[in-house]
A and B are shown apart, each in its own frame.
Chain A
Amino acid sequence: MIPAQFDELRVDDVSRHFGRRRALSRITFQAPRGAMLGLLGPNGAGKSTMLALLATLLRPSAGAIRYGDREAAAYGPSLRAAIGVLGHDLFLYPELTARENLEFFAGLYGVASPRDAAAAALQTAGLTERADDPVSSFSRGMRQRLALERALIHTPRLVLLDEPFTGLDDSSAAALSRRLRGLRDAGMITVLATHDLDLAEGLFDRAVFLRDGRMTATVDRPEALRAMYRDIMSRST
């Protein structure tokens, strides 16, 4: 499986509804390679739906998501090979060891040497010592680190992260921020949904503020996120 190649992610007037429930209305943004984009908003704002749409798990009800010059339907599985997803539910088998989880998914993604890829990922996650322990014995923070490396095991071009800071202590969160900056420098497109503004401070090239499924603001190179967030959210009510 040769992963799809694209240099830009472009979300164009996308809406998604479930029956009568409007999960997302008319969202528009774009992100070039090497950009880190933040989706910010309270719970239920539509952040996870947006990520599911970008991951091709859902199709937009209206509008288009273009990866480079084409939509998802034009790519087929090659697009899925170029996307890495860290879901809110982590996508790990608790009965399997860290190594087994990584090798399984590396195999599914057709990585040339699942064994080496898993070993490298364990190294990055700082879990080499615990590689052969089942994931069920891991703390939330360790699982989170492992899940991130699982999502990156096939070096995707587009990385989608849903609340990656959940359950991390300060030093792990700092390590995660460093890792994310590394992804940006490597030219990946990263879309990160979070409501944890302190940890995300200074991370984003662009922040998209969502509320009740709508875009309330887009800010480039945001600073003083918390104040900005409070300001934007109070304005939109």
Chain B
Amino acid sequence: MSGFSRTVWLVLRKDFTVEVRSLEIAYTMLFFAVSCVLIFAFALVQEGRAPEGGAAGILWIAVAFAGTLALGRTFERERQSETLRALLLAPAARPAVYVGKLLGIVALLLAAEMLLVPLVALLFQAPLLAHPVWLALILVTGTIGFAAVGTLFAAMLVRARSRDVLLPVLLYPITVPVIIAGVRATAALLQPEMDAAVIRFWLALLVTFDVVFVTLSLWTFEPLMTD
């Protein structure tokens, strides 16, 4: 294994072990996401009927909100005994640290989505599970895009004051294309006649976004994290 992938693996495995021991982020994030969905249900479901096409939006809002929470907590944990500093002090490639953290966040979010999807499908009578492969593709590409920007921003904000409020303030305007693409593609999936051309367009956009923003993050991680 090369140095880069070994570092990625070490960071990922470390985050995984820490999370499995406490399950703090997993539980709080899941509960928060479920609460979000329920609030939307109370706000939007009228006379027992869910609004047309609301399910796609609610799913992605819940993912974005829960994702912000998970990002904030993950890096708060690295700040507690300044372990992020320790990671930066090690001779390991710094972009590898970024990739390790990114994979951890993506895994957490995908786990949350496994619960969110059936919940939204149930509460909003949406046939989300009718095309599981397409849905999985949309969720994975969208989550990577959101987490790619989010991991970089959360990491760089560790050094800043007011980091809790600044993370969503910075993150949401930048991830608008991910949200639009994710919501539109999921909505196209929910049509009575699934519109494959539309979904393919949005998937292409999401993949391009992922590639561009992961590359940019790898490129800027080092200058942003050091003095």
Contact = CB atoms under 8 A, between A and B. Distances in A.
Answer yes or no: A and B touching, Cβ < 8 Å.
yes
The CB with the most chain B CB atoms within 10 A, among A56, A78, A91, A109, is that of: A91
9 contacts: A1-B3, A56-B89, A85-B86, A88-B82, A90-B81, A95-B17, A96-B14, A100-B17, A110-B3
B161 interface: no
A181 interface: no
B224 interface: no
A88 B85 CA distance: 12
Q: What is the size category of the interface that chain B forms with chain A?
A: 20 to 34
A109 B87 CA distance: 10
B25 to A, nearest CB: 11
B161 to A, nearest CB: 13
Interface in A168-213: none
B82 A108 contact: no
A89 B90 CA distance: 16
Contacts of B6: 107
Given A77-B93, A94-B80, A96-B14, A108 B22 contact: no
B7 interface: yes
Give the interface residue-count category, chain A: 20 to 34
Given A57-B227, A87-B82, A105-B86, A93 B18 contact: yes
Contacts, number: 76
A134 B21 contact: yes
The B contact surface, by secondary structure, is helix
A53 to B, nearest CB: 9
Interface string B18-44: 100110000000000000000000000
Contacts of A59: 227
A81 interface: yes
A157 interface: no
B82 A89 contact: yes
A125 interface: no
Nearest to B20: A95
A80 interface: yes
B158 to A, nearest CB: 13
A95 B18 contact: yes
A148 interface: no
Contacts of B220: none
A108 B83 contact: no
Interface in A59-80: 59, 77-78, 80
Contacts of B18: 93, 95-96
Given A77-B91, A105-B90, A108-B92, A91 B83 contact: yes
- Which of B3, B86, B93 has the most chain A CB atoms inside 10 A of its CB? B86
B10 interface: yes
A209 B85 CA distance: 26
B90 A80 contact: yes
A92 B89 contact: no
A104 B10 contact: yes
Contact of B85 (A57, A83, A105): A57
Interface string B208-220: 0000000000000
Nearest to B90: A108
Given A1-B3, A96-B14, A81 B227 contact: no
Interface string B65-108: 00000000000000011110111111111000000000000000
A220 to B, nearest CB: 30
A24 interface: no
Interface string A105-149: 101111000000000000000000000001000000000000000
Contacts of B82: 87-91
A58 interface: yes
A110 B89 contact: no
A37 interface: no
Contacts of A152: none
A85 B81 CA distance: 13
